[in-house]
Structures are given as C-alpha cells and as structure tokens.
Chains A and B, each alone.
Chain A
Amino acid sequence: MAIPKVAIVGIGHSKYGKRGKLINEDIEGEKATYPAVTIRELAHESYFPALEHAGITNNDIKASVIGIAAEAFAGQGAAAALIADEVGIIGKPTMRVETACATGSTAIRTAWAQIASGQFDVMAAIGVETMTWVSTAYATELMSVAGDHRWEYPYGISFPTFYSLYAARKMAVDGLTRDQLSAVSVKSHYYGYYNKLAHLRRKVSIEDANQAVPIALPLRLYDCCLISDGAATVILANEEKAKEMSSDPLWITGLGCSSDTMRVTDRPNLTNLGGSVRAAEMAYKQSGRSPKDIDVAYVHDCFSVAEVMAYEDLGFCERGQGGKWAEERGPYIDGPGVPVNVDGGLKSKGHPLGATGIGQVVDAYKQVFGTAEKERQVPDAKVALCHNVGQHGQFVNVFILEP
C-alpha cells in the first residue's frame, strides 16, 4: 500500500568531528579548515544550506522537529527551543524527539507524519548533537544508562558491551570471524576517507582492526563507531509544494518502523535484530521494492557486528552469511551486492546521535542525484535505503527513497 507522497527537497550537513576545536584537515594536499563551534553554529551549518538548497526562506517553513538524543551532552535543557530560535524558525510549532541513536530518523518520521496528515506543507527536520564536550567515561555513562537500570546497567553493561554480547553469540552460532568484523571497518574507513564531511578520514587495514585495543571483547576499537559532534537537516514538503519548489525531489516511498524488548535477554536470539527485520518488511511493502532493487544503502553500523546483522536483516544476503558477504566485498561499490555506507558510516563519518539518521538521508540524496565525491559515488544510483537503529533495536526506522 502506497503511503502519502512527501519528499525531501533540501539537504544540509555539517562537518562531523570534534567540533569544539578548530580543525585543520589536509588529505592528499587538499586542505580544509573548520572553525570551533557550539551546538548553535552546528545547527546553522546544516540548516541554512538546506534552506538554500530548497530555494526557500524561513517564511516557507511551517513547523520544525528537532532531533537531540541526550540534552545532557550539550548541557542545554529545552534544546529544541534553542535550536529553532537559533535558525530563525520562531513562532511556529517545534518539538524535540528522542529515540536514542535513531533520533534523527524519528525527527524525519515525525515531520513526515505532520505533513502526511495535512497539518503543514513544508517542514524542517534538524538533528544536532555535541558529544565531545564531555569525557569519554561520562559519554559512556550517558549511553549506558539506556540499558535497563535494574537488570543491566548495574552489571557494567556499557553500550559496546550490548553489541559484544551479540558478537560473541554470533561468532558461536553463525561462525562470524574476527577478520570478517574487521572487513566491515576497513570498508567503512575506505569510503569515509573520501567523504569531506567525515569525522575520521583515515584508511585502516585488517591488521589494524584485528589488533586494536579491546573496548568490550570481542569488540575492539575499530569495531566501534566514533563519538562525534555534528548536525544534519532535511527540508520536507508535501506533493504539491515539492513539485512547485524542487526540480529534484527525493520521495519517501517506504517508511518502516518497529521496536523490540528492553532487555537483551528477552530476545528470541542474539544473532539478528528483530526490529530491523520488521521495519524493513514494512518499508519494502509500502514501496513495492525488494532488497534486490536497492542501489545504495545506509545501515546503522554503530558497531561492526551491527552492520553484519543489518546485511542479513535488510535482506542483502542470506541469514547467517553477513560476515562472509562483507569478506567477499558484497557491500563495496564495485562488489557483487548492494553498496553499503559509502559515506563512511557511523564508523568513519561519525555518529552525532541526533544527526545520524538525517545525515544518512542527506548522503542518500547526494548519491541519487550524483553529487557525492567521485571516489565514493555509486554509478546510476536511483533507489536508496536508510536504516537507523536506536539502542540495540528498541527503535528502528527504515526509509526507502526514490527520485
């Protein structure tokens, strides 16, 4: 069943990274400088380009949804009010949404629903997070308290630990190997290297990843995504407005979502994420698409094992074969399967929680309209899929996007 027509008509994406300090980047002689910013300027950096891209002004924006996963990171309560004010969307409805690491895509889903219901015609979904202001130990704490506070947190289950419980189980049940996990990270860093907006533009080898410091074994440093600052914005419009204002609207043809049990021990298995399977099924059904139709995919690779599970849960390879598929270059542009995370993913591009799900859609737009850096541009990409997971599957959004 087709869903109401809503399109992405404007995109903006800040540089991801440790944005509290000046960044001087020099990649193969190509130099770039990014000033030190706060959560305010980060919002500007993604919002105004999105507005300009859509060819409109703040007068055209009827309401906004702001994605911020944890206000404690920025030390700003009622942060949606601050961000909406900063970018000048004043006197119009705004709200903050939160679904942990899926906050960004939930901001899009919420704006989509307000447009699809006919309440507003043009809206902004802005995701922003500053995470490097606090110590790594405190950042780990802020993410760990998202575990069940009675049955999980007291046992020191950090966020990487949840996924390491999946990794150890998947190794035992599916034969997932250390090299296969590393193959995922090597691929992410390969594409992230060519993405000018990525946080960590550094190529890594299988050996680097295999021997990196342990974080929560079996997971090591290069199995884990970055802690980043960043912002991303999309402007959404209903069918009439999208056709009027944009020559290149990107339509949301599938919008699947699901959830899962709070406790990891209440799941039927620890080798896949049921929420991802259910959300993908919904999105495929709405769009009439199947995994073989997808030209480029963005999957939630908060950890290497999460990306392996996503390959399987989204139907890019057989169940239990995700590790093997990574090793066989399935997710590469020149590989045999669907190119995955050609922006570098959460691993290399970075994971500013509230921005991440919007950042995926921004890059999908670039890929579909052929404006990504040439080294990471998928030729003739038309149908894109974005998969954004909160916690370890408690919140999942899957979007199918088409021109």
Chain B
Amino acid sequence: MSEPQLGLVQELSSDVKHRQRMTAEFRKFIDGLKEGKFLATECKSCGKKFMPPRFTCPCGGKDLEWFEVNPEGTLYTWSIVHFAPEGIAKKTNVPYAVGVIEFEDNLLLTGHIKGLTSKPKVGMKVKIEPQELDTGDLAYFIKPA
C-alpha cells in the first residue's frame, strides 16, 4: 500500500446530521455554527469550561453559560486513518486525517483535518471552520491556519 495522500478527506454525511438531531441545548451549538461561531460552556458554580459543551457539570452544577471560543489554535495530536469503520467508509474515502485542535484555556476538540499540504505536526497553527455540506448538513473542519 502506498503512503497516505494528504488533504483528500471527503465531506461527512448525514451520519453527522443523524447524531446532531438531539436536544434544544445541542441545537444552540448548531445555531452557533450557522453563524460561524464555536460555542462552549462554562459552569457558573466551579468555573470549569467545556468544549465540546456540556450541559451539566461533574461538580453538580446545572447552570452553565455559553461563550464563544476563538477558532484559532494549535494541533494537539493527529492521525491519518487508512481503514475506516464500515459506517464511515460508505461516506468517506481513505486515507483521511483527523486531529485534535487545542483552543485557548486548554480546550480540545476532535475533527477532520482538511487542506493539509504536508504531514501534520503537533503544535502547528490550525483553525477550525464550520462548513455547510452539499447535503445541507453542518460540519466543521480543522485547517492549517
């Protein structure tokens, strides 16, 4: 098998939509994406911040406040996937790159990496961008900054 080609990740699918059709609270995150915003939550009891947003805090707090995260950060870690799970393989060509972006306040988020022109490197500057897919679904991608 040849070495991975980079930047060939295809767009995700209705699987995302299926799993995003959830709750009123989660809808708020989706609405944020529509406006190009990445929303996280902060517990008003203990001050802990959550990305992905949580709607209850392990401290017991149920009053969490939304705030917008700066979409620029660094690549915390990465992988280039050559064998996809069956449900993903139907929608996405391999190889594809996934990574974790680190925002300010040490907040981390997992996503696909798009637009790589060289091997991903821990610590490289990246940003996260929302995107509407052909299917009408919303997704977000990690891209080199």
Given contacts A141-B86, A155-B98, A169-B122, whether A264 and B110 have CB atoms under 8 Å apart is: yes
A73 at the interface (CB under 8 A from B): no
CB-contacts of A157-181 with B (<8 A): 157-158, 160-161, 164-166, 168-169, 171-173
Q: Is the CB of B122 within 8 A of A172?
A: yes
Q: Is the CB of A140 within 8 A of B86?
A: yes
B26 proximity list for chain A (CB < 8 A):
150
Q: Is the CB of A156 within 8 A of B108?
A: no
Q: Is the CB of A158 within 8 A of B84?
A: yes
| A159 CB, min distance to chain B CBs, angstroms | 8
Alpha-carbon gap, A135 to B76, bound state (A) = 33
Q: Which of A138, A141, A150, A216 contacts B19 (CB 8 A)?
A: A150
Q: Is the CB of B100 within 8 A of A137?
A: no
Q: Which of B1, B22, B88, B122 contacts A156 (CB 8 A)?
A: B88
Alpha-carbon gap, A264 to B22, bound state (A) = 21
A197 at the interface (CB under 8 A from B): no
Q: Is the CB of B81 within 8 A of A156?
A: yes
Given contacts A169-B76, A265-B110, whether A161 and B52 have CB atoms under 8 Å apart is: no
B110 proximity list for chain A (CB < 8 A):
151-152, 155, 157, 263-265
A214 at the interface (CB under 8 A from B): yes
A291 at the interface (CB under 8 A from B): no
B136 proximity list for chain A (CB < 8 A):
none
Q: Is the CB of A141 within 8 A of B87?
A: yes
**How many residues from A make CB contacts under 8 Å with B?**
41
Given contacts A172-B122, A217-B4, whether A158 and B83 have CB atoms under 8 Å apart is: yes
Q: Is the CB of A140 within 8 A of B84?
A: yes
Q: Is the CB of A144 within 8 A of B108?
A: no
Question: 1/0 per residue B80-117: CB within 8 Å of A?
Answer: 11111111110010011010100000001111100000
A161 proximity list for chain B (CB < 8 A):
79, 81, 98
A270 at the interface (CB under 8 A from B): yes
Count, A-B residue pairs, CB within 8 A: 126
Q: Is chain A's binding surface mostly helix, strand, loop or mixed?
A: helix
Alpha-carbon gap, A217 to B96, bound state (A) = 10
A215 at the interface (CB under 8 A from B): yes
B77 at the interface (CB under 8 A from A): yes
B47 at the interface (CB under 8 A from A): no
Q: For residue A144, which residue of chain B has the nearest CB?
A: B85
Q: Is the CB of A215 within 8 A of B82?
A: yes
B51 proximity list for chain A (CB < 8 A):
265
Q: Is the CB of A156 within 8 A of B92?
A: yes
Alpha-carbon gap, A153 to B86, bound state (A) = 11
B89 proximity list for chain A (CB < 8 A):
137
Q: Which of B4, B83, B100 contacts A160 (CB 8 A)?
A: B83
| A219 CB, min distance to chain B CBs, angstroms | 8
A88 at the interface (CB under 8 A from B): no
Q: For A160, A168, A215, A270, which residue has the most chain B Cβ atoms within 10 angstroms?
A: A168
CB-contacts of A206-260 with B (<8 A): 213-219
B145 at the interface (CB under 8 A from A): no
A154 proximity list for chain B (CB < 8 A):
12, 15-16, 19, 88
Q: Is the CB of A216 within 8 A of B76?
A: no
Q: For residue B76, which residue of chain A has the nearest CB?
A: A169
Given contacts A156-B92, A165-B77, whether A216 and B52 have CB atoms under 8 Å apart is: no
A217 proximity list for chain B (CB < 8 A):
4, 79-80, 82, 95
21 residue pairs bridging A and B, Cβ less than 8 Å apart: A145-B87, A150-B20, A150-B26, A153-B87, A154-B12, A154-B15, A156-B96, A158-B81, A158-B85, A165-B77, A165-B100, A173-B122, A214-B1, A214-B4, A214-B82, A215-B82, A216-B80, A264-B110, A265-B51, A270-B76, A270-B100
Other than A143-B85, A156-B92, A214-B82, give 6 A-B pairs with Cβ distance below 8 A: A137-B89, A155-B111, A158-B85, A172-B122, A217-B79, A217-B82
B residues at A contact (CB < 8 Å):
1, 3-4, 12, 15-16, 19-20, 22, 26, 51-52, 76-89, 92, 95-96, 98, 100, 108-112, 120, 122-123
